């Protein structure tokens, strides 16, 4: 599973990274998690507000934070 956190390094972006790492660990998933900070790369996903969560190339969240439980739901439906 490939997971990308889109954001320029703001506190919410950093928090989304932590929450995602926690969700992956709790689900015992094998995943490659990367942080994308390049504005052009972020815009290529069609994301206009960060943070954003991309799972296997699909944007599942943009513009706000959600709970670890919600991230786990995203991860389980994108397997």
4-25: pLDDT as tens digits:
999 988 899 999 999 999 999 9
List residues with catalytic annotation.
10, 13
Chain segment 38-61, per-residue pLDDT in tens = 999 999 999 999 999 999 999 999
Q: Number of structural domains, the chain?
A: 1
* pTM of the entire predicted model: 0.93
Show the domain range for 17: 2-77
Cα 41 from Cα 29, distance rounded (Å): 26
Contact criterion met (CB below 8 Å) for 62 and 12: no
Helix extents (H) in 1-79? 11-27, 39-44, 68-77
């Amino acid at each position: 599973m490939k997971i990308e956190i889109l954001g320029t390094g703001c506190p919410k972006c950093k928090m989304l990274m932590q929450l995602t790492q926690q969700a992956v660990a709790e689900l015992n998933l094998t995943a490659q998690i990367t942080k994308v900070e390049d504005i052009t790369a972020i815009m290529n996903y069609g994301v206009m507000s960060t943070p954003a969560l991309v799972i296997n190339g699909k944007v599942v969240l943009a513009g706000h934070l959600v709970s670890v439980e919600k991230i786990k739901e995203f991860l389980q439906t994108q397997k």
